[in-house]
């Protein structure tokens, strides 16, 4: 019965989320020509609701061709880059954090200050610098490290790096912050008193205990990477999902639903599992 109640709550929350997205998608109609059009706005909301909940015909920006399955190709292409970017960013952050705490622990304050500086660099500047480096290396050596722009051959390596590097500074900073907070707890003092080494305490206890906190931070990481992905779409001429979404009302609402619903369900399931585990432990 508890499972049915949770599924019903999840379904209701998804519907509310989709309705909010529909309200946002219809905003251009409300403020068309810098005047308020309430009647047209409500009509657009009704029309989008009918389309979404009856799986009606969604059209591309030209108003002639169907949005399906065209948008699915763009969706999976963008999610592949986003997924690889998240994995890469987490690996970079974990490596920097681990080295900072194990090897450069006495210089941790300087490392955190450096991370603050790197995080302040605009994503656009980092991506352009990466492209320039690849082009310069190719001009000087003839070695093509990565595809700089998608024309006939799709760029993959450089977009993934471009999506992952800017956010990796933030993840590293949060990672270090959570670990430092965990190291101040009493059980760490007890573990040290028993003669356990710092790497052992870090690997076996600290990393496991900060997992929930890091997962909560992942929401901020995800939305930040989506904004970077839009920049990547334009700079690498990829015509990905985020770029397609800006072409019209139908692509926008479908793109929002494709992004929102799977990740919302994923987070809710994780929260249920995490809550049940804590309740069992308690």
pLDDT at 165 over 90: yes
Cβ pair 206, 213 in contact under 8 A: no
pLDDT at 234 over 60: yes
Alpha helices in the chain (DSSP H): 2-25, 27-30, 38-53, 70-102, 108-119, 123-141, 157-183, 186-193, 198-201, 207-209, 211-235, 241-245, 249-281
* The pLDDT of residue 80: 93
Distances (CA, A) of 61 to 51, 77, 151, 170, 237: 16, 19, 21, 36, 18
Contacts of 192 (CB under 8 A, 6+ apart): 198, 201
Q: What six digits make up the tokens of 201?
A: 């305490």
Say what the pTM is: 0.86
pLDDT, one tens digit per residue, over 27-84 is: 989 888 878 889 999 999 999 999 998 888 888 877 778 888 889 999 999 999 999 9
* CA distance linking residue 238 with residue 180, whole number of Å: 40
Share of the chain above pLDDT 70, in %: 97
Share of the chain above pLDDT 90, in %: 37
- Measured over the CA atoms of residue 53, residue 57, residue 60 and residue 66, the dihedral's sign is positive
Q: What six digits make up the tokens of 280?
A: 């069992």
pLDDT, one tens digit per residue, over 23-38 is: 999 998 988 887 888 9
φ/ψ of 66, rounded to 5, equals: -70, 145
Eight-class DSSP state of 155: P
Domain extent listing, the chain: 2-53, 70-247
Superfamily of 70-247 according to CATH? MetI-like (1.10.3720.10)
């Amino acid at each position: 019965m508890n499972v049915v109640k949770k599924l019903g709550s999840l379904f209701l929350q998804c519907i509310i989320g989709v309705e909010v997205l529909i309200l946002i998608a219809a905003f251009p109609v409300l403020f068309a020509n810098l005047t308020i059009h309430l009647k047209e706005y409500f009509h657009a909301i009704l029309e989008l609701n009918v389309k979404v909940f009856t799986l009606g015909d969604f059209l591309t920006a030209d108003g002639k061709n169907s949005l399906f399955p065209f948008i699915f190709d763009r969706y999976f292409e963008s999610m592949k880059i986003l997924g690889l970017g998240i994995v890469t960013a987490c690996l970079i952050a974990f490596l920097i954090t681990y080295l900072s705490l194990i090897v450069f622990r006495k210089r941790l304050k300087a490392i955190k200050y450096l991370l603050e500086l790197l995080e302040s660099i605009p994503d656009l500047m980092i991506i352009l610098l990466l492209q320039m480096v690849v082009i310069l290396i190719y001009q000087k050596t003839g070695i093509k490290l990565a595809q700089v722009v998608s024309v006939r051959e799709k760029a993959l390596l450089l977009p993934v790096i471009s999506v992952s590097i800017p956010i990796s500074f933030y993840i590293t900073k949060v990672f270090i912050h959570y670990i430092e907070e965990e190291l101040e707890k009493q059980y760490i003092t007890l573990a040290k008193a028993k003669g356990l080494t710092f790497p052992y305490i870090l690997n076996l206890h600290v990393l496991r205990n900060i997992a929930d906190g890091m997962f909560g931070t992942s929401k901020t990481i995800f939305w930040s990477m989506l904004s970077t992905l839009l920049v990547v779409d334009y700079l690498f001429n990829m015509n990905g999902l985020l770029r397609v979404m800006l072409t019209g009302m139908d692509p926008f609402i479908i793109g929002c639903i494709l992004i929102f619903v799977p990740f919302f369900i994923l987070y809710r399931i994780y929260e249920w599992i995490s809550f049940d585990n804590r309740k069992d432990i308690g």
